[in-house]
Structure 1
Amino acid sequence: MDINVGIVNYNTKELLADCLESIAKQDKSLLAKTIITDNGSSDGSVEYIRDKYPMVTVIASKENLGFAKAVNKILKKAKGKHVLLLNSDTILHSKSIESMVDFLERCPQAGAVGPMLLNPDGSLYPTGRSFPTFLDATMHAFLGTIAPRNRFTRRYKKLDWDRKNKKEVDWISGAAICLRREAVKEVGFFDEQYFMYVEDMDLCYRLWENGWKVFLIPEAKVTHYVGKSSDQERIKMIKEFQRSMYKFFLKQNEGNWKKVLAPLVKLGLLTRSALLTTSAKFRGGR
Structure 2
Amino acid sequence: MKLSVIIVNYNVEFFLEQCLNSVLAASNGIDVETIVVDNNSVDNSLNMLNEKFPQIKLIANKDNRGFSKANNQGIVISKGEYVLLLNPDTIVEEDTFKKVLDFMDAHPDAGGLGVRMLDGKGRFLPESKRGLPTPAAAFFKMFGLSKLFPKSKKFAAYHAGHLPQDETHEVEVLSGAFMLMRKTALDKVGLLDEDFFMYGEDIDLSYRLIKGGFKNYYFAGTRIIHYKGESTKKNTVNYVYVFYNAMVIFAKKHYSKENAKLFSFLINSAIVLRALVSIVASTIKSLVVPFIDFIIVYAGMFIAANYWGEIILGEQQHYPIQFLYIVIPIIILFWQLSVYYSGGYDKPIKAQKILLGLLIGVMLILVVYALLPEIYRFSRALILFGALWSAISMISWRFIVYLLGVKSMKFGSKIAKRISVVGSDEETERVLSLINNTSIDASFLSKILLDIKLKTNVDTRVLGSVEQLKEIVKIHKISELIFCAKDFKAREIIDLMAELKSPDMDFKIAPPEQMFIIGSSSIDTSSDVYFVEVNAINKQSNKRFKRLFDFVISCMLLLTYPLHFWLSKQPLGLIKNLVLVIIGKYTLVGFDEDIKDVNLPQIKRSLLHPSDLISDDASNEDKVRINLVYARNYRIGNDFNILFKAFRLLGRINIINE
Kept in 2, the 8 Å contact 1:69–1:192? The answer is: yes
Structure-to-structure mapping, 1:105-184, within 5 angstroms: 105-126=105-126, 127-141=128-142, 143-144=143-144, 149-151=147-149, 154-184=156-186
Determine whether 1:61 maps to 2:77: no
Change in 2 beyond 3 A, CA 1:10/1:260: closer
Q: Which range is displaced more, 168-177 or 275-284?
A: 275-284
Report the Cα offset of residue 203 of structure 1: 0.2
Determine whether 1:264 maps to 2:265: yes
Aligned partner of 1:261: which letter?
L
Aligned partner of 2:77: which letter?
K
Structure 1 equivalent of residue 52 of structure 2: 52
Unaligned runs of 5+ in 2: 287-345, 347-658
- Partner-residue secondary structure (3-state), 2:220: strand
Kept in 1, the 8 Å contact 2:137–2:156? The answer is: no
Structure 2 equivalent of residue 100 of structure 1: 100
Aligned equivalents of 1:29 and 1:189: distance in 2? 28
Please give the per-residue CA displacement for 1:11-53, whole angstroms capped at 9, x wherever unaligned: 0000000001101111357797100110110002012101110
Aligned partner of 1:176: which letter?
F
Structure 1 equivalent of residue 607 of structure 2: none
Aligned equivalents of 2:159 and 2:9: distance in 1? 26
Determine whether 1:278 maps to 2:276: no
Structure 1 equivalent of residue 190 of structure 2: 188
Change in 2 beyond 3 A, CA 1:233/1:117: closer
Kept in 1, the 8 Å contact 2:169–2:219? The answer is: yes
Change in 2 beyond 3 A, CA 1:262/1:118: closer
Please give the per-residue CA displacement for 1:208-256, whole angstroms capped at 9, x wherever unaligned: 0010100011112111000111129955333211110111111121x44
RMSD: 2.6
Change in 2 beyond 3 A, CA 1:245/1:60: same
Please give the per-residue CA displacement for 1:121-171, whole angstroms capped at 9, x wherever unaligned: 221111111102212213422x14xx6613476221123431111110001
Change in 2 beyond 3 A, CA 1:268/1:34: same
Report the Cα offset of residue 280 of structure 1: 9.6
- Partner-residue secondary structure (3-state), 2:176: coil
Structure-to-structure mapping, 1:81-100, within 5 angstroms: 81-100=81-100
What is the percent sequence identity of the aligned residues?
A: 32
Q: Which range is displaced more, 107-116 or 155-164?
A: 155-164
Kept in 2, the 8 Å contact 1:172–1:201? The answer is: yes
Change in 2 beyond 3 A, CA 1:233/1:9: farther
Structure 2 equivalent of residue 21 of structure 1: 21
Structure 1 equivalent of residue 204 of structure 2: 202
Aligned equivalents of 2:21 and 2:285: distance in 1? 32
Aligned equivalents of 1:221 and 1:279: distance in 2? 39
Aligned equivalents of 1:12 and 1:217: distance in 2? 27
Change in 2 beyond 3 A, CA 1:26/1:263: closer
Q: Which range is displaced more, 233-242 or 128-137?
A: 233-242
Report the Cα offset of residue 115 of structure 1: 1.0
- Partner-residue secondary structure (3-state), 1:194: coil
- Larger of the two Rg values belongs to structure: 2
Aligned equivalents of 2:183 and 2:278: distance in 1? 37
Q: Which range is displaced more, 190-199 or 30-39?
A: 30-39
1 or 2 for the larger relative contact order (CA 8 Å, sep ≥6)? Answer: 1
Change in 2 beyond 3 A, CA 1:218/1:233: closer
Structure 2 equivalent of residue 7 of structure 1: 7
Change in 2 beyond 3 A, CA 1:12/1:191: same
Aligned partner of 1:96: which letter?
T
Which has the larger strand fraction? 1
Unaligned runs of 5+ in 1: none
Kept in 2, the 8 Å contact 1:239–1:273? The answer is: no
